[in-house]
Structure 1
């Protein structure tokens, strides 16, 4: 297992790539899956969004949001809280653009395309056992034959 630290949290997020983006509207939370673009060297995670999306108003009023990354195949989980900010930085949008984005927007110049810059503050990560031996140990523990190896977990200030 790997010790949970900032670098490992960034590696986990980079490997998972889809996050549940959780906002608050003043009375309820709302979560939606979004493609994450982690950039450790910028201490930021970027997301593309449409102008005037419901979450945009929520971010403007309540900028503290939570991201949840899950990779069940590896038993890896990251929950991260930070500050989200909307941007119309066309140079950064072009820098982050990939052909996959054509499913939603015509081009990086699409006037409906905006950017969310998420600055992480703290994370809780669980790096579970990934191999068959660990799975067998979990089954044995469920049968009452000892405690399972749950891997490493920890809270990290980002």
Structure 2
């Protein structure tokens, strides 16, 4: 497995939207759900996802911020991200990452009550494509 730069991995991750986000529950089990970054895909080591305050995702991250993301792209591209999640409740940051497609999920836009923005900061990224693999560590 070759070590690589974040920029190299980011180039390959361009336009990847849907991730499987895994958290640890209060009973120590793993919980995974699909999340969309709604086109906010200019990857710099951080991923952003919106959810509701009352979600299991938020309660899991509140107890244990260590998470993983899994992406699948075209041409046999697979990406695994191990990182730390942060819960953001600042409306200015909501607006910075808001796109109109989110309106179908959050009917009052960035003003939707109970809205939370998840920021996942990568600590390690592994990428596989065919027989090639790469790894980046923060």
Instruction: Give the TM-score taking structure 1 as reference length.
Output: 0.76
- Partner residue of 1:67 out of 66, 69, 74: 69
Cα deviation digits, residues 6-64 of structure 1 (max 9, x gap): 112222333211100010114211111101334545x4211111111011111011100
Please identify which structure carries the higher strand content: 2
Match of 2:100 in 1: 99
Q: Tell me the matched-pair count.
A: 132
Residue of structure 2 equivalent to 1:58: 60
Do the aligned partners of 1:4 and 1:125 also contact (CA within 8 Å) in 2?
no
Structure 2 counterpart of 1:5 = 5
Gap runs ≥5 in structure 1: 129-149
1:157 maps to what in 2? 137
Q: Secondary structure at the match of 1:126?
A: strand
Q: Does 30-39 or 84-93 show the bigger shift?
A: 30-39
Normalising by structure 2, what TM-score?
0.86
C-alpha distance in 2, partners of 1:45/1:38? 8
Corresponding residue number in structure 2 for 1:90: 91
CA distance in 2, matches of 1:93, 1:39: 17
Q: In angstroms, what is the RMSD of aligned CA positions?
A: 1.8
Measured in 2, the distance between the counterparts of 1:28 and 1:39 equals 31
C-alpha deviation, 1:103, in angstroms: 1.2
Q: Which residue of 2 aligns with 1:125?
A: 127
- Structure 1 residue 122: deviation in Å? 0.4
Secondary structure at the aligned position of 1:111 is classed as coil
Partner Cα separation in structure 2 for residue 101 and residue 28 of structure 1: 29
The alignment partner of 1:95 has SS state of helix
Structure 2, unaligned runs of 5 or more: none
